[in-house]
Structure 1
């Protein structure tokens, strides 16, 4: 294996430094999970850079069993980018194991190319020299298309997550936090730019078009530089949106002023939640959970729970059922029950079953829905 250019040497040094940074982010003491996701992202970028360098050497001729094995890391770029950003902004995501489904394309890649991976060294070498079979080239093309689609979908997810977080947090964010939110947005845009270089290079390569500049070199050089800048930024400011820093920013002088600030914070959260509930009507969702409000408003699970207990003075489900009850009354006043069953009316109001609908109706009105409708119609005569 011989490194034949200064560019490859610089890229190799950058890759080594990125690898060290990824290990730092993954194993650095502390319970800051987003940094570990970022470390995994930096590690996947590092492996891809190494693979690019090795393709220009005779490495694979001597270590044929490594060929194409690490290409699945490219299918992890955008999922890891999205999960890093999501976990960075929303610290108390419930059921984190469900996030693993984002990595199904990478797993599928390994399964599809397993027939190639288990071949003997001589068989692999012959395929490389004489040409790959149709199933191999078609599969590679399919996965290249999947990577392109990932870029589009996850970019939309990331920008929407940032926008929603900033929109609902509004005055909750300090100038320092807003600047970091802008940095996260820049992080997404830089990924998109790199994705454009890589995708354009791949498409031109398939079409057999040659440019005066190698887009793949730009892609991998930019990737190496950006991983270093990104990792350094995160090391300097690892706990920006953490619950502990939010409290520290609120409590400055003494316990009394701290309690007052926390109360103001709860009042702000209460206003945001009340506005969201009235305008967006999340209670119409039959299987609504508190985590849905977390993801929609950018307020942490702990704070939302405190708002319902202290400001509403009721549980989350009690408040949602009261809104559903009022929605059901509005539907009844419009005559919805004359054209549809009460079960369907309950569903449209957000109740997950007619039994719950009847119980809540009886609890707050001392009447069953049928009695309520009967009394309402009699009073209208």
Structure 2
């Protein structure tokens, strides 16, 4: 039942993704990855249920397929963490798969009865190709899992310099994908039991189905921004316990030192001018109220290069883009709740108007900036006013 569940869910998730609106290249990679995984589980299921005498060719096609798991993981991670597009050169990642099929090429030219006999003899005559394929699988898993981790760590370091809200960035999603693939390869390397290997793979698909549908920008069609909700009294819960409470909610600035910009062509005079224009833009147009504001968006509004804007923010404000924008949001929130009309709405709905897109992120940033929770801050200001 576990194998069948994995097979059915793989193809079902592929269907869900392929019918999704506004698909990205990463979505297409995931569709293909899930479809191949479903087919691979199917070939094992047929072998496990001793149906080699009925589907020998189909089962044989599954033998080299572990070699695609690593490349799919790396390509998906790359496309999710960069603006790069899929290129023909990236097809070379699947060259080991083609070479592996070449090793077993003789098998596919055997007659039906010869293929059945080969499975009954447990692959006798193909010992060397099988051994080469096995070591290639070991190497592929180690190399691609490592490359994916490096890619993800590098991406993590750049987030605070690019995004003003990070709750919708699929960092945990990608991290767990890598962990799952690594776990499967641990079973392959140290357990070497097919039932456990494919059982782990089936569990991976089940996890992917459960966790994936909860991720923004993966399986769903996108959700509208919450609207301001009128109430008689209002308070923002200190936490919402949602999946957005992740390591991505409170990123830290990795490097604001002058050493980082030693090779920059931006003069001090130009930096000061950009900083002045940035302050005017923030005060007059309030771009931070856009929950999806990015460094590129802000740089485009100012007509400057994103790298120069990042340098100005780091050097003049001594903070990251993320911290700057969220501080502006907190300041706007404080300004709005000082008005009498704020009592008509919940605190969190006011926070949404200021550019936050989750209660958890709002509460965390507010306490970081003021040292108080939103409700405590309101109580304190009310007490002082009285």
Same fold (TM over 0.5): yes
Question: TM bucket by the smaller chain?
Answer: 0.5 to 0.7
SS in 2 for 1:61: coil
CA spacing shift, 1:149–1:62, aligned 2, 3 Å: same
Aligned mates of 1:182, 1:231 — CA distance in 2: 11
Q: TM-score, normalised by structure 1?
A: 0.56
How has the CA–CA distance of structure 1 residues 265 and 120 changed in structure 2, closer, same or farther, with 3 Å as cutoff? farther
Q: CA RMSD in A?
A: 3.3
Deviations 1:314-356 (A, max 9, x none): xxxxxxxxxxxxxxxxxxxxxxxxxxxxxxxxxxxxxxxxxxx
Q: 1:215 aligns with which of 196, 201, 210?
A: 196
TM (norm. structure 2) is 0.55
Q: Secondary structure at the match of 1:59?
A: coil
Is 1:235 aligned to residue 273 of structure 2?
Answer: no
1:106-157 Cα deviation digits (max 9, x unpaired): 11122221111110012122222235344x1221121111111111111221
Q: Deviations over 1:49-68 (max 9, x none)?
A: 22222122132212223231
CA 1:265 to 1:84, structure 2 compared with 1: closer, same or farther past 3 Å? farther
Cα distance in structure 1, aligned partners of 2:158 and 2:52 = 52
What are the ranges of 5 or more consecutive residues in structure 2 without an aligned counterpart? 224-286, 314-386
Rounded to whole Å, the distance in 2 between the matches of 1:171 and 1:45 is: 36
Greater RCO (CA < 8 Å, at least 6 residues apart): 2
Separation (CA, whole Å) in 1 of partners of 2:51 and 2:45:
10
CA contact (8 A) 2:46 2:52 kept: yes
Distance verdict in 2 for CA 1:127–1:10, change over 3 Å: closer
5+ residue gaps, structure 1: 1-8, 206-213, 240-248, 276-381
Q: How does 1:1-381 map to 2 (within 5 A)?
A: 9-93=1-85, 96-134=87-125, 136-177=126-167, 180-202=170-192, 215-216=196-197, 218-232=199-213, 233=215, 234-236=218-220, 252=290, 262-263=300-301, 266=304, 269-270=307-308
Residue of structure 2 in register with 1:296 after alignment: none
**Could you tell me whether the CA contact under 8 Å between 1:11 and 1:224 is conserved in 2?**
no
Aligned-partner SS, 2:53? helix
How far apart, CA to CA, are the structure 1 residues paired with 2:29 and 2:93?
13
Aligned to 1:71, the other structure's residue is in SS state: coil
Q: Distance in 1 between matches of 2:139 and 2:302?
A: 44
Residue 201 to residue 238, structure 1, CA distance change in 2 (3 Å) = farther
Cα distance in 1, alignment partners of residues 93 and 50 from structure 2: 34
- The answer to whether the 8 Å contact 1:197/1:218 transfers is no
How far apart, in 2, do the equivalents of 1:147 and 1:174 lie?
Answer: 40
The answer to whether the Cα contact below 8 Å between 2:47 and 2:59 also exists between their aligned partners in 1 is: no
Q: 1:121 and 1:193 mapped to 2: Cα distance?
A: 36
Q: Distance in 2 between matches of 1:149 and 1:273?
A: 41
